[in-house]
Amino acid sequence: MEDWSIQGEELVNCNCNFGCPCQFGVLPTDGTCEAAGVLEIEKGHYGDVSLDGLRAAVMYKWPGAIHEGNGEMQLIIDERADDAQHAALETIMSGGDTEEMATMWFVFGAMSPNKHETLRAPISIDIDREGRIGNAKAGEVFEISAKPIPNIVSGEPHRVRLELPHGFEFAKAELASGSTRTGNGGIELLKNTDTHAHFARLHLTGQGVVQA
């Protein structure tokens, strides 16, 4: 198994209620799962291949809960990546060179037998994790916007953090409200408007989340 490590910032939006039932071992809000995410890698490697400064994005869609499988996924890799970097990110984010169940990429890849062609595109990401504000765009494939969850009475920003000591994606995340608009990729997301989003600091290896 090739040694790899990724450290960076992530923004994800799915179609469920704020908080995301999956994080609590509960079925999806409407019984299905649709999600998009963007990752900015501050520091990373795959063997001798540096991944520093690259970005990657992904879309997923399941007809039921994730663990029921039969999903589809599509990766979008930073157009600045060379062939070796492109191959490395495609391997990692499809669950390769990873211990079984150790990361979300392993699980999501295993539960998505319908894999669309990996795309190359310019990827932008501008996020404020503490402020729960952000925007990210993967070429013309999709765009995510996120903002603080509004207080149900006053409308003022409502702050919620999620901590997962044994998670397979992150150790801590700031929860938010997000929306995703899809374009000309292989997957169309139709339910992601003012739904769950999270900002997280990632530190992952083939063995799973590195706890601080």
Q: Where does the pLDDT of residue 97 fall: very low under 50, low under 70, confident under 90, or very high at 90 and above?
A: very high
Kind of pairing between the strands at 119-121 and 4-14: unpaired
Q: What is the DSSP letter of 192?
A: -
Question: Of all residues in the chain, what percent carry a pLDDT higher than 90?
Answer: 100
Q: What is the predicted pLDDT for the residue at 74?
A: 98
Residue with tokens 């157009």: 79
Report the pLDDT value the prediction gives residue 155, as an integer from 0 to 100.
95
* Residue 208, C-beta contacts closer than 8 angstroms, at least 6 positions apart: 99, 102, 103, 168
Residue 182 tokens, joined: 């899809």
Task: Give the pair of three-digit tokens for residue 212.
Answer: 């601080």
Average pLDDT of span 48-53:
98
- Which DSSP string corresponds to 88-143? HHHHHHTTTT--TTSSHHHHHHHT--EEPPPEEE-EEEEEETTTTEEEEEETTTEE
Amino acid identity of 54? Answer: L
Is a pLDDT exceeding 90 seen at residue 138? yes
pLDDT above 90 (res 67): yes
**Which of 70, 171, 179, 161 has the alpha carbon at shortest distance from 115?**
70
Sign for the pseudo-dihedral over CA of 182, 139, 39, 134: negative
| pTM confidence score | 0.97
The pLDDT of residue 212: 78
User: Across all residues in the chain, what is the average pLDDT?
Assistant: 97
- Contact between 139 and 121 under an 8 Å Cβ cutoff? The reply is yes
